[in-house]
Amino acid sequence: MFAIVRTGGKQYRVAAGDKIAVEKIDGEAGDTVSLGDILLAGDGGEVKSADGLVVSAEIIAQTRGEKVIVFKKRRRHNYRRRNGHRQSLTLLRILAVGDAKKAAPKKEAAPKKEEAAPAAETKAAPAKEAPKKEAAPKKAAAPKTEAAAEAPAKKPAAKKAAPKKEA
């Protein structure tokens, strides 16, 4: 049985046992993912209904594609720009094409030890907050001299009139 699957904006024809490289999908090597956007399904030469079908796949690796060089140039303007780009890809091995019931369940990570540590920190946090030191009040800035405080603002300079030439 085969299926046409859409993922990452592209379409792929897949069957059980195929290996494909698709746009990056979250997960680590060994995780199982299900691709639910199936456009068409078939068996041999017959086309079957794609309703309720799911394609299950295993992530082989997270990798990057070949480097693509982007070169921009404008003639006679000494303008040249060279950039490179490598697309992030996920390598998938198709496990099964079939009903949603038959699809392999997605692996879930076991709870980490780090999750237990934050609970212990919340109990210890109130004890740390109790001995806070109070900051000393800051002194207000006073003018250095009385003359500086009472100095009048300067007036803008008068514009000089240009002499008029009579013809």
Of residues 4 and 45, more confidently modeled: 4
User: Has residue 125 been placed in a domain?
Assistant: no
Would you mind telling me the total number of residues written for the chain in this entry? 167
- Domain hosting residue 27, numbered range: 2-107
Contact 25, 33 (CB under 8 A): yes
Residue 75 lies in a domain: yes
Query: How many domains does the chain contain in total?
Result: 1
3-state secondary structure of 64: strand
Whether 26 maps to a domain, the answer reads yes
- Does the global pTM surpass 0.75? no
pLDDT in tens, 110-143: 555 555 545 555 555 555 555 556 666 666 665 5
Note whether residue 151 is domain-resident.
no
- 98, with CB counted inside 10 A (0-12, 13-18, 19+), is middle
Q: Say how far apart CA 132 and CA 17 lie, in whole Å.
A: 63
Residue 103 has pLDDT above 50, yes or no: no
In a domain, 40, yes or no: yes
Residue 57 C-alpha from the chain's centroid: 23
User: Considering the domain boundaries, does residue 100 fall inside one?
Assistant: yes
- Does the residue 160 lie in any domain? no
Radius of gyration of the chain (CA): 36
Q: Is residue 162 part of a domain?
A: no
